[in-house]
Amino acid sequence: MQIVKLYWTDFKMVVLEQFLDYDIAQTSNAYEIRASGHHNQYKCVIYKGTAPNDALYSQLQNNADKDNFETYYLNFYSKLSFDSVNANIDLRYTQFKSLVNYKGLNPQYLEYPESYYLFAFDGSLVYRCVIYKTPHPTIDGYTTEAMIADAADFSYSAYAYNKSIVPMSASGVMRVATEKPSNTKYTFSSINFCDKTTWYCQSLRVVDEIATDSGNHTTYSLAHQYIIDMFHGKITREDHILDSAGNSYRVTVKVNDVVKTEQDPHYSTGGDYTIDYALGHIIFNTALNANDVVKVTYHYENGSTYIITPPSETHDLSVDSIDLQVSSDLVITDSICYQVFGLVDVVAPQLVGTGQGQIPSGTMIPLNEITTYKTFLDYLNDTQLSYPVYPAVSSGTWRGSPTEIYTYNLNYLAAEVVPTIAHPEIRMWLEHHTPFGGTSANATFFCQLSSKALGYS
């Protein structure tokens, strides 16, 4: 594996493009950041103080890289010291033996037709080593002579290792069985692209707006339509969703500064008022006095973008599959777009600024190509399977589904990993923000957090 030395800006782009994890090691003078790809090992050095004279890398650039690294990266990763046995857990046999003896580990090995695979676990890292039964071409300075010597040495000491039994076919192919991962699972349920009263992610909040009496002292109008409805089960886990400032999306209605109660849909009676969320009307059960003042705090829709923010700052988010659920009466009136965005300050700090051609700090920029579903065939072409049709259930009640539901699964053979280092957002939106016709169109994202903390290889 070839070692490629890069400056910080180039190093970050390689890590983002190849979705690599990396390790941080530091001395009193510098940070050394390393990442292993399929064919190369990448290395970057950022100096804490004075950088060596380099015509291509100025002290000013080093200082800018140091500020960016310490602000956005250093605290999100487990830091390794040069006193560690080895930041890279893939070891040569002599190193592996020394580490096992030093830490008192219980090593095991798997035997394959051409090699032995040795491994040991110390509670946080898995140390690995490969010994070839027959010499291979030189690998990173691992000579043929050294391979022969290691194979001979291991053949005498293998009794000290616990051999893991690996089922093999008659042709020598390893038999495997799958099991569910123990990673933390997250399921994200989107807005309903047919119903603007569910489009909460970009909605705007209004506090204590004085509603307008229609004249009958019963119906009061708001300045906006399509009020976000977080009370009637339209959005999964709606009781726990808050806006970016920590405010509930539930509508608050006050009459003469006394909070009133919305009718509970479970009972369909009682309470002080109901809401027509689409029209933006507050409808009281009994008429108010002409001089009563009605104040309403609410959120109203401001676009169809649905946003997923990874729940961890130290683990990547893996999107394993997506289910698309649509009602049988769906009318496709717009294109759905899907893309991952990252913070420009982290992804491309060299572009941050206020001048011509620069991007303001805090802007989210695309990390991958946009995927656009224009027609129903686009959805089918990206689908790997579908489920049996779900019949209408409890039709006519707010808890039911009035139509049949069709479900299509985008089950990725290789998970789409969203790198947390970019402070990312997964976005799905209607291109022209025109709601679909029909009852419902939702997406469910089945995700899990990476099983290892970032900063370990």
What domains can you pick out in the chain, each with its CATH number? 2-81 (3.30.720), 93-163 (no CATH), 185-190+305-449 (no CATH), 196-300 (no CATH)
Per-residue exposure over 15-46, b if at least 16 CB sit within 10 Å of its own CB, e if not: bbeeebbbbbbbeeeebbbbbbbeeebbebbb
Residues 6+ apart with CB under 8 A from 288: 213, 217, 218, 255, 294
CB of 369 closer than 8 Å to CB of 416: no
Residue-wise pLDDT tens digits, 214-230:
999 999 999 999 999 99
What's the chain's average pLDDT?
Answer: 85
Query: Residue 358 — φ and ψ, nearest 5°?
Result: -95, 165
User: pLDDT at position 159, please?
Assistant: 58
Q: Using one digit for the tens of pLDDT, what is the confidence trace for 249-263?
A: 999 999 999 999 999
Our CA angle for 108, 90, 156, nearest 5°, is 45
Give the span between the Cα atoms of 386 and 323, in whole angstroms. 9
Please report the pLDDT score of residue 87 as a whole number. Answer: 38
**Distance (Å) of CA 176 to CA 112, 169, 199:** 14, 10, 44
What is the distance between the alpha carbons of residues 2 and 336, in angstroms, rounded to a whole number?
A: 42
**The two structure tokens encoding residue 210:** 């004085």
Q: List the chain residues with pLDDT less than 70.
A: 1, 16-19, 72, 75-89, 124, 137-141, 158-182, 314, 412-416, 451-457
Give the pLDDT confidence of 26-83 residue by residue, as tens digits: 888 999 988 887 778 889 999 999 998 888 889 999 998 998 888 767 765 433 333 3
CA pair distance 409, 267, nearest whole angstrom: 36
Residue-level pLDDT at 457: 31
Phi, psi of 235, deg, nearest 5: -125, 130
pLDDT at 228 (0 to 100): 98
Say if pTM beats, i.e. exceeds, 0.85: no
What are the backbone dihedrals phi and psi of residue 17, each rounded to the nearest 5 degrees, phi first? -70, -35
